[in-house]
Amino acid sequence: MMMMMVLGINYMKSVVGVLMLITGRSHGLMFTCDARQNTTCYTALGHPVYLQLINVEQPQLSFTAGTQRIFNIKKNIITRQNLPPNWQFIISNWTLIINPVERKDTGTYRTESHDEYGKVVGINCLHLFIEAPVSSVTLNIACLPSSERRVTCSSSGDSPQYSWTLDGTPLGEGGTDVILKEEATGALTCTVTNNVSSVNKTQDLNPCRRPSTPQSTCPPQTAVSGTYNQDTDMNEPDQHHQSCGLLVFITVWLAEIIVLTSLWVGFYYLYTRNNRSQTIVRKCRSHTASGTSDES
């Protein structure tokens, strides 16, 4: 009777374990870890992980997390069990399912098997790491003054790694952003990966619009021939405004000179005219005086 109850319990646990595996698959990612040897395993946060503990049935088995004993098995009977709520052990195939995986499940686990006499026949350690999958990739393109483009890639998730391709050709640059020449065109793809997932986003490149040149209130510049000089052309707007200011200054200066010259000429004309009139008057008086003396 006791043996039948044990078999019935084991059967129900197997059914529950299979249902949990099916549920894990239906939600997307599911990970398996081979704990039959010393290994390191990565699994995604919030998704199920399937741990294979041993190859064949052993008379005795113990499973510990750090220094805490999780369960003991002796002759297919669980003699001690301290499973977290999200854990399920299936004794029929010696597997452990964690669903869903949580941050606190990260750690080092030890599987120790014994023969019927209690002698250790195998010890394996599993280092389990939990990472949040990468997702929500976003591309932002910014035009630089040099007409180059800076493209920035961002994503959520743990320990993301970035790579870039242009029309399928690797750019050979990593990191969250990349600088592209003005003539670069095509489909730019940013791929983000970590130990448990990989996502990407593609966007077509468009040339940057050059800023329009503000209109000047000064007279239009005279076109000159010659070779192109970048430094000279960059300073042409300032030189043009300076020439406009110089032209205004010269115009005002010439007007002042004309006014002053006109005043000086007018003053000189009045002075010479007045001086001539006085000379004539003196001559007339002198002539009149001489005439009177002769008559006497």
| Residue ranges covered by each domain of the chain | 2-131, 135-204
State the pLDDT at residue 277. 66
Tokens 């406009």 belong to residue: 244
Report which of 63, 5, 109 is spatially closest to residue 72, judged by C-alpha positions.
63
Q: CATH 2.60.40.10: does it fit domain 2-131?
A: yes
Please state the φ and ψ torsions of residue 195, each to the nearest 5 degrees.
-70, -10
Question: What DSSP string describes 225-293?
Answer: -S---HHHHHHHHHHHHHHHHHHHHHHHHHHHHHHHHHHHHHHHHHHHHHHHHHHHHHHHHHHHHHHHH
pLDDT band of residue 23 (cuts 50, 70, 90) is very low
Are the C-beta atoms of 221 and 247 separated by less than 8 Å?
no
How many of the other CB atoms lie within 10 Å of CB of 85? 6
Cβ–Cβ < 8 Å for 153, 159? no
Q: What per-residue confidence (pLDDT) applies to 263?
A: 81
Sequence-distant (≥ 6) Cβ neighbours of residue 66 within 8 angstroms: 107, 108
DSSP E strands: which ranges in 91-217? 95-98, 107-114, 120-131, 135-143, 149-156, 161-166, 169-170, 177-180, 187-193, 198-204
Closest CA to 89 of 180, 143, 10: 10
Average pLDDT over residues 37-43: 95
- At position 279, the amino acid (one-letter code) is T
Query: In this model, does residue 279 exceed pLDDT 50?
Result: yes
Give the separation between CA 43 and CA 129, rounded to whole angstroms. 6
**Shared fold status for 2-131 and 135-204:** yes
Average pLDDT of the chain is 78
Per-residue pLDDT of 199-218, as tens digits, reads 999 999 988 876 665 555 55
Q: Distance (Å, rounded) from C-alpha 30 to C-alpha 48?
A: 5
Q: pLDDT: is 109 or 213 the higher one? A: 109
Query: Which residue, chain included where needed, has tokens 């790694």?
Result: 161
Compare 78 and 102 and report the one with higher pLDDT.
Answer: 102
The answer, yes or no, to whether residue 256 has pLDDT greater than 70, is yes
Q: Which residue has the higher pLDDT, 3 or 155?
A: 155
pTM of the model: 0.59
The pLDDT tens digits of the residues spanning 2-17 come to 333 333 444 344 333 4
Q: Any idea which of 19-23, 75-79, 123-127 has the lowest mean pLDDT?
A: 19-23
- If one counts every other C-beta atom within 10 angstroms of the C-beta of residue 72, the result is 17
Contacts for 218 with CB less than 8 Å, ≥ 6 apart: 240, 241, 243, 244
**CATH classification (class only), 135-204:** mainly beta
C-alpha distances in angstroms, 238 versus 69, 163, 211, 216, 223? Answer: 80, 44, 17, 11, 16
236 or 211: whose pLDDT is higher? 211
> CA dist 218 to 214, 222, 224, 236, 238, Å?
12, 12, 17, 13, 12
Residue 293 pLDDT class (50, 70, 90 cuts)? low
Where do the H-state alpha helices sit in the chain?
2-26, 230-295
Q: How confident is the model at residue 102 (pLDDT cuts 50, 70, 90)?
A: very high
Give the model confidence (pLDDT) of 165-191 as tens digits: 999 999 987 899 999 998 899 999 999
- Which pLDDT does position 88 carry in this prediction? 94
